[in-house]
Amino acid sequence: MIDKVIPLIYLAAAASFILALKWLSAVHTARRGVIVGVVGMALAVGGTLLRPEIVSYRWIAIAFVLGTIIGVPMAMMPMTAVPQRTALSHAFGALAAALVGTAEFYLRTPKLDVFTMSALALEVLLGFLTFTASLMAFGKLQDILPTRPITYRGQNVVNLALLALAVAAGVALVASPARTWLFPAFGAFALVFGVLLIIPIGGADMPTVISLLNSYAGLSACAMGFVLDNRLLIVAGALDGSSGLILSIIMCRAMNRSFANVLFGAFGQVQASAAAAEERIVRSATAEEAAPILGNAGLVIVVPGYGMAVAQAQHKVRELFDVLTKLGVVVKFAIHPVAGRMPGHMNVLLAEADIPYDRLVEMDEVNSDFAQADVALVIGANDVTNPAARHDKSSPIYGMPILDVDKARTVMVIKRSMSPGFAGIDNELYYMDRTLMVFGDAKAVVGNLVKELAAGAAAR
């Protein structure tokens, strides 16, 4: 009886995953997508626990407790730490796949056929390299490691040579699984390659890296499904891998860059021009001086960036939205696809602060509105607003689609200092005649703007 029920449970779980992805693609159905995805995972786990192959639940119970101890604190991390949490999730999922592959190799050798051994080799290779790569990404996102690219002469040659060694070891194992002595070297090559893959990648490329690692983890799980003859794992892994790859392609298009450039371009080295930033004239203003300009505007377009996330200023931004709306000002939020450190980072933060969904406008739709905007308020965004991307062929961001904030009548930039962004280059926007720099922590500055606007409204 159980043998007939489990396939039905897996089928329902697979359908839930597909529907979850569909509903997560739209804001108004995203909550439903999350709930259905959770139900699907519960069905998948429940169906697996019913399998007759399980002879003891002791180690499963221990793993459940340990996973809960690790997972609950991760779930309680602030929304501003979503990129780091995502990187850790990829690391744990990939490690699980790699360890399952390792166990299957030693349990089933030399009875592994060519197809199963090929899937197992792919599972272990992608699992181990994704594990260490995700840990390195977490370190960069958490500022434990330098966010700038770490490079050295001949780095790409070393990386490709190490990957070639890993692939060669995998091919040798497929040809002869009995060479068990080669398996530890195969795993070690994959682990080290994961580290070396990420260290030359700068913070500006983290959105693409996160989605690419998501794809690797999914493909590893898909390969594990073939090894274990588990159709649900194949479906779930394929969905995860393909969606991550599609998202990576979207991110690369948003930056007008290729995968090769992201992975091997060392994007984010500080340029020499940034050192001369202090020699140029900058117009600055206090919150008290900036508030009346906002209050008298007809249309304000807010451009959120990673600085807003670091300062955890999203709730203050909501207060600013409320007070401006009460004053009759139309407020929109311009969302660049790679603003922040993971795809959708700004959408998540603003949604947490209950900013109305219809006020979040994607780059392609909002760019035509900047020419009519009285104020473009940039909160911690840097490279995605740099006009150099349009005309400076020597700039590393040349050709990257940007938000046309420089076309607004007045540009206000809230920033801690004049330091360059993740791309490591100076932002031309900061030196324009129509730009006002409001220096300080984003949360504190926006809070002061709210106080000044509220006081001005009360005095009317």
Neighbours of 134 (CB within 10 A): 28
Read off the pLDDT of each residue in 135-156 and give the average, rounded to a whole number. Answer: 84
Distance CA 368, CA 143 (A): 36
Distance CA 38, CA 249 (A): 27
Q: Tell me: do 158 and 101 sit in the same domain.
A: yes
Q: Which of the two residues, 111 and 174, has the higher pLDDT score? A: 174
Distance CA 446, CA 450 (A): 6
Terminal Cα distance for the chain, rounded: 76
The model's confidence at residue 75, banded by pLDDT at 50, 70 and 90, is: confident
pLDDT in tens, 381-426: 888 899 988 888 777 778 888 999 999 999 999 998 777 666 567 8
Number of domains in the chain: 3
The verdict on whether 383 is a catalytic residue reads yes
The model's confidence at residue 145, banded by pLDDT at 50, 70 and 90, is: confident
Q: Scanning the structure block, which residue is given the tokens 């700068």?
A: 202
pLDDT at 302: 96
pLDDT at 279: 62
Q: Tell me: do 209 and 336 sit in the same domain.
A: no
3-state SS assignment for residue 303: strand
- The DSSP annotation for 120-176 comes to HHHHHHHHHHHHHHHHHHHHHHTTSS-SS----TTHHHHHHHHHHHHHHHHHHHHH-
The model's confidence at residue 272, banded by pLDDT at 50, 70 and 90, is: very low
Whether the per-residue pLDDT at 59 is higher than 70: the answer is yes
Percent of the chain with pLDDT over 90: 56
Q: Tell me: do 247 and 283 sit in the same domain.
A: no
pLDDT at 212: 87
Q: What CATH number has the domain bearing residue 413?
A: 3.40.50.1220
pLDDT at 11: 94
Q: Tell me: do 70 and 81 sit in the same domain.
A: no
Give the tokens for residue 108: 């089933």
- Out of 205, 240, 383, 404, which one is annotated catalytic? 383
pLDDT at 370: 95
Q: Tell me: do 62 and 82 sit in the same domain.
A: no
Read off the pLDDT of each residue in 252-264 and give the average, rounded to a whole number. Answer: 69
**Among 264, 291, 309, which residue terminates a domain?**
264
pLDDT at 265: 55
**Among 76, 103, 125, which residue terminates a domain?**
76
pLDDT in tens, 273-309: 444 444 678 888 999 999 999 999 999 999 999 889 8
pLDDT at 270: 47
Whether the per-residue pLDDT at 225 is higher than 80: the answer is yes
Q: Tell me: do 342 and 411 sit in the same domain.
A: yes
Q: Which of the two residues, 421 and 238, has the higher pLDDT score? A: 238
Whether the per-residue pLDDT at 238 is higher than 60: the answer is yes
Residues 220/94, Cβ–Cβ less than 8 Å: yes
**Among 264, 287, 308, which residue terminates a domain?**
264
Percent of the chain with pLDDT over 70: 92
Q: Tell me: do 432 and 338 sit in the same domain.
A: yes
pLDDT at 271: 47
> Residue 364 is which amino acid?
D
pLDDT at 264: 62
Sheet with 330-335: list strands edge to edge: 360-362, 330-335, 299-304, 375-379, 410-415, 435-439
Alpha helices, H only, 199-313? 206-228, 231-255, 259-264, 272-275, 287-295, 306-311
Q: Tell me: do 255 and 314 sit in the same domain.
A: no
pLDDT at 199: 87
Q: Tell me: do 143 and 237 sit in the same domain.
A: yes
Domain that holds residue 381: 272-459
User: H or E element: which one contains 103?
Assistant: helix 82-108
pLDDT-wise least confident of 145-159, 214-228, 403-417: 145-159
The chain-wide mean pLDDT, for the chain, equals 87
Q: Tell me: do 381 and 448 sit in the same domain.
A: yes
Q: Tell me: do 413 and 395 sit in the same domain.
A: yes
Sign of the dihedral defined by the CA atoms of residues 232, 237, 242, 248, in that order: positive
The model's confidence at residue 201, banded by pLDDT at 50, 70 and 90, is: confident
The model's confidence at residue 460, banded by pLDDT at 50, 70 and 90, is: low
Q: Tell me: do 147 and 189 sit in the same domain.
A: yes
